[in-house]
Amino acid sequence: MAESRGVDRFFGRLLALPMALVIMTGGGLSCAAPESATSPTTVPTQPATQPPVTEPTSQTAPETVEWTADGVVNPGEYVNELSLGTYRLFWSSTDETIRMALQSDVPGWVAVGFQPGSRMKNADMVFGMMSDGVATVLDQYSSGDFGPHSADVMQGGTDDLIVSAGARTDSMTTFEFERRLDTGDEFDVPLQRGVAQQIIWAYGPSDGEKVAHSTRGYAEIVP
């Protein structure tokens, strides 16, 4: 009997040991490895900064307006412009004609000449001036290096300006005209669309055909 009680006490101690372990571990056993004292931190990746999206800018072509010979150059009235300081030339062409505006910042005459030879010789000229507030635009031809540049009709030719006009403000003088590209007149230079054309230009400080030019020069345009 004594031996039996000793065995019971031995197994009782063995059964009591797991219970003690359960109490010490807070109610459960675990085989997981102990956590590290410092847990690894996951840093969220920031998305790459994208450049701002630029929307294409809509380019609006200048609105064209109907051409009118009135001595006023309106925006969109001409396709081409040549600025030469205080002298400006505007032009557009159709299948049959060329339309031009001569403009300067002086209160005097303004002129353009097509295809000069030596200096002014053989230049087909258009000359504009004001007289008592009325515009006079002449179809002329220069027969010499320095003139004279008489009207075509005075040299056996014809006046081939279809329409012309001019106006003057306190700061600007403008003359407009239209003529055929090829007039058939021997005193007019035939012009071709898309073909470069040499010109001479000039203006004077006051009105009058015999007033010498104060500024002149050479240039090239494409009708």
Domain chopping of the chain, boundaries: 1-32, 80-221
pLDDT at 213: 54
pLDDT the model gives residue 171: 86
Amino acid letter for position 125: M
What tokens were used for 139? 């179809």
pLDDT at 84 over 80: yes
Say which CATH topology domain 80-221 has. Immunoglobulin-like (2.60.40)
Quick one: CA dihedral 161, 139, 197, 176, positive or negative?
negative
Looking up tokens 């600025």, which residue turns up?
A: 83
pLDDT band at 212 (very low <50, low <70, confident <90, very high): low
Is residue 24 very low, low, confident or very high in pLDDT (cuts 50, 70, 90)? very low
Lowest mean pLDDT among 44-53, 88-97, 200-209: 44-53
**What are the E-state strand segments in 67-109?**
80-84, 87-93, 97-104
pLDDT at 89 over 90: yes
Q: What is the mean pLDDT of residues 169-174?
A: 92
* Across 153-176, average pLDDT: 95
Reported as a single tens digit per residue, the pLDDT across 139-157 is 999 987 776 788 999 999 9
**Closest by alpha carbon to 99, among 136, 135, 73?**
73
With a cut of 70, say whether residue 12 has pLDDT above it.
Answer: no
What local confidence, expressed as pLDDT, does residue 214 receive? 63
pLDDT at 80 over 60: yes
> Residue 34: what pLDDT?
43
